[in-house]
Amino acid sequence: MNVVLIGYRGCGKTTVGRMLANRNDAGFVDTDELIVHQAGASIADIFANQGEPHFRKLEEAAINMATKSAGRVISVGGGAVESKTNRSTLRGYGTVVWLQADIQTLWNRISSDAQSQGQRPNLAGGGLEEVEQVLNRRTPLYAELAHVAIATTNRHPNAIAEDIEAWLAIQ
C-alpha cells in the first residue's frame, strides 16, 4: 500500500498512520519524526533556533526521502501541503487520505497531548481562533490534494484505519 495521510495537526495522522501500517505489514514513515531523528532536535527547537523556512526545507527533503520507496504509509506535518513541490511529490506517491476533525476536537486533542507539547512548535498564541484561521487557509489545499476525506471526530483510530482499508479495497 502506498498511502499518504494529510490533515491539520491533531487530526491523528501519526496515530492512524502507524496503526494502518502495522495492520497491513507496510512500512511507516512519519516525516516529522524523520526530521527530528535526522536533525537531532525537536521541531519546536528547529523552529525556535533556525526558523520555519529552514524547517520547511528539512520537511521537503524528508518527504522526498520518505517517498523514495514503495509500500509505505507516510504521515506528514500539517503544514506540508503549503508547498506546491510537496503536494506534487505526495500525490505522485499514492493514495492521499485527508483526516478531518472539527475545530473543537482538534483543539482538545492538541491541548491535551502533553507528551508532544514540548516537541511541536507553539501555536502563535491565538488559541482556537488561530486553529480556525490556519485550517481555513489549508482546507482548499487538503481538498485539492486528497483522493478521499475521512471524518475522525468521535471515532476510534482503529475504526479510521478500517475505513481507509475499506476505501482502498474498492479502488
Q: Which residues in this chain contact ligand ADP in the complex, by CB under 6 A?
A: 7, 9-15, 75, 109, 113, 152, 155-157, 160
Cβ pair 76, 63 in contact under 8 A: yes
With CB atoms as reference, the residue minimizing the distance to Mg ion is 14
Q: Which does 34 bind (CB under 5 to 8 A by kind): Mg ion, ligand ADP, none?
A: none
Which residues inside 80-139 make contact with Mg ion, applying CB under 5 A?
none
Question: How many angstroms separate the CA atoms of 33 and 42, rounded?
Answer: 9
Which CA distances in Å does 87 have to 106, 118, 145? 23, 28, 7
Q: Which does 152 bind (CB under 5 to 8 A by kind): ligand ADP, Mg ion, none?
A: ligand ADP
Please tell me the count of residues contacting Mg ion according to CB under 5 A.
2
Cβ proximity to ligand ADP: between 161 and 171 the closer is: 161
Please report how close the Cβ of residue 31 comes to Mg ion at its closest, in angstroms. 9
Among 5, 8, 14, 164, binds Mg ion (CB under 5 A): 14
Cβ pair 23, 73 in contact under 8 A: no
Question: How many angstroms separate the CA atoms of 5 and 7, rounded?
Answer: 7
143 phi and psi angles, rounded to 5 deg: -65, -40
Is the four-CA dihedral 38, 131, 155, 163 of positive or negative sign?
negative
Cβ proximity to Mg ion: between 59 and 170 the closer is: 59
Question: How many angstroms separate the CA atoms of 91 and 86, rounded?
Answer: 8
Please report how close the Cβ of residue 34 comes to Mg ion at its closest, in angstroms. 11
Binding site for Mg ion (CB under 5 A): 13-14
